[in-house]
Amino acid sequence: MEFFNTLITGTGSYIPTVSISNSEFTRQTFFEKDKSRIDSPGDVVVEKFRDITGIAERKWVTSDQTNSDIASIAGRAAIKDAGIDPESIDHIIVAHNFGDVLSGTIQSDLLPCLAARVKNKLGINNPSCVAYDIIFGCPGWIQGMIQADSFIRSGLASRCLVIGSETLSRVVDKYDRDTMIFSDGAGAAIIEGVRSDRKQGLLSSATVSNTREEAYYLYHGQSNAPDSVPEIRYIKMHGRKIYEYSISRVPQAMKTALDKSGIPIEQVKKILLHQANEKMDHAIAQRFFRLYGLRPDIPEYMPMNIHELGNSSVATVPTLYDMILKGELKNHSISEGDILIFASVGAGMHINAIVYRQ
């Protein structure tokens, strides 16, 4: 029997070169959203932050780099890894949230869209290669993969380049403790239709959008600093609400995707979760397995790179996947036939999950 599969045939990523350790925040003055000063010593604030998030350092781009620059680097690496002619790509889908933001500014630049810039930087001439962006919060790259799968299965495309890229260091409020969470990075994958004698690749997916009060759990707001300019706004979030929402809603979305695939839970080898918060991610994974009456050793199933890379939004899942495939993440590997679950949650609030057979 012959199967038509949508497979990831190449991956690439870009990890920025500037490392910002937690110690660099110990002398920073932080304020609450109500403008009151946080009087706890800097080392206490930083230590509590690490205990909760697991983040020890993060990567930021250099002053001369933009989001579309690093997206192009990751995309070029995926093209090379797949061994394809870039002119054969039908769709370039770039997931992000803030566009290009120049160093020293806070303004998002989305004209033209990042995908058009990436296509330009990659030197692709084919006018039938459609380049467009997807703004879907942190789950953007996974949603781009779901869209690419749909295009391929419908016959509207045969090969797509899906990139998740972000430079959150350009849109953070340095007077807000949440600044320590965010980072920069880019990850990419080539996904294409392939016929083979076994069922593999993207098997099933699930997507959820909760947009009542949840719509504004992440938002744009003015700086926490008392003397800040109200018209200048930065990325803000209601951390506790996001945590509670995520641990209660993400496990069920993952279960929905897995149940649709027909794959038993015992065959799942790895869960590649959006790298947002170590404690939150562990809680999500634990609750997911409990839906099946299981209590496995979570670290064995859930690789993490948040400790050194921080939360790079749409880039966390594809960079994590690429690092594992390239043997760059200790104690984790992916072999042919392994069942993987990709899942993410973020601004919107959106949740999505993919079940994938390597």
pLDDT one-digit tens code per residue, 244-289: 999 999 999 999 999 999 999 999 999 999 999 999 999 999 999 9
Distance CA 8, CA 79 (A): 11
- Distances, alpha carbon 320 to alpha carbons 40, 42, 117, 189, 309, in Å: 34, 30, 24, 12, 10
State whether residue 299 is helix, strand or coil: helix
Dihedral sign for Cα atoms in the order 14, 243, 302, 133: negative
Q: Are 177 and 52 in contact (CB under 8 A)?
A: no
Dihedral sign for Cα atoms in the order 109, 115, 116, 122: positive
Nearest to 190 by CA among 2, 8, 64: 8
Distance CA 213, CA 234 (A): 20
Domains of the chain: 3-196 (3.40.47.10), 201-357 (3.40.47.10)
Per-residue tokens: 333? 């590997």
Distance CA 286, CA 117 (A): 40
Distance CA 41, CA 28 (A): 10
pLDDT one-digit tens code per residue, 171-187: 999 999 999 999 999 99
pLDDT one-digit tens code per residue, 101-117: 998 888 889 999 999 99
For the CA atoms of 145, 151, 152, 154, the dihedral, rounded to the nearest 10 degrees, stands at: 140
pLDDT one-digit tens code per residue, 128-163: 999 999 999 999 999 999 999 999 999 999 999 999
What's the pLDDT at 218? 95
The residues, ordered by sequence, that sit 6+ positions from 344 with a Cβ below 8 Å of its Cβ are: 138, 139, 141, 142, 273, 274, 316, 317, 351, 352, 353
Q: Are 52 and 307 in contact (CB under 8 A)?
A: no
**pTM for the whole thing?**
0.94
